[in-house]
Amino acid sequence: MSEPAISTNPSERGNANLIYILYLVGCVAGITALVGVVMAYMAKDEAPDWLKSHYHNQINIFWKGLLYMVAGAVLSVILIGFLIWLAAFIWYIVRVVKGMQTLAKGEAYPDPSSWTF
């Protein structure tokens, strides 16, 4: 297996870092997460390979987080939905922070398609 690409150019990371920040702000003002996923879709094709993994991760965070939230809303009728919302919120924050840390190191995100942390 080959070593992951490491970038030493901080300017490449700006857009991806902004999207992660928009996702964090999205916990308070949900519309910024939508702006972030649109930005990730627009930037993913022209990015270097190591950065594409971050955009792929950001797109997955948005859609899987939305799926978890909808499942929580449906199941809130039987009260388990609130636990799903809590778990989804924790999952969302952990994935965003882990992505920001990996991006700050200039490394590719290890497994952007994962459903776990």
Model pLDDT for residues 28-59, shown as the tens digit of each residue:
998 999 999 999 999 999 999 999 999 999 99
Q: What is the mean pLDDT of residues 67-78?
A: 94
Q: What is the pTM of this model?
A: 0.89
Reduced to 3 states (helix: H, G, I; strand: E, B; else coil), residue 48 is coil
Please report, for the chain, the start and end positions of each structural domain, with discontinuous segments joined by +. 10-104
The pLDDT, as a whole number, for residue 117 is: 81
Distance of CA 62 to the CA centre of its chain: 6
The torsion angle over the Cα atoms of residues 51, 102, 61 and 117, rounded to 10 degrees, is 140
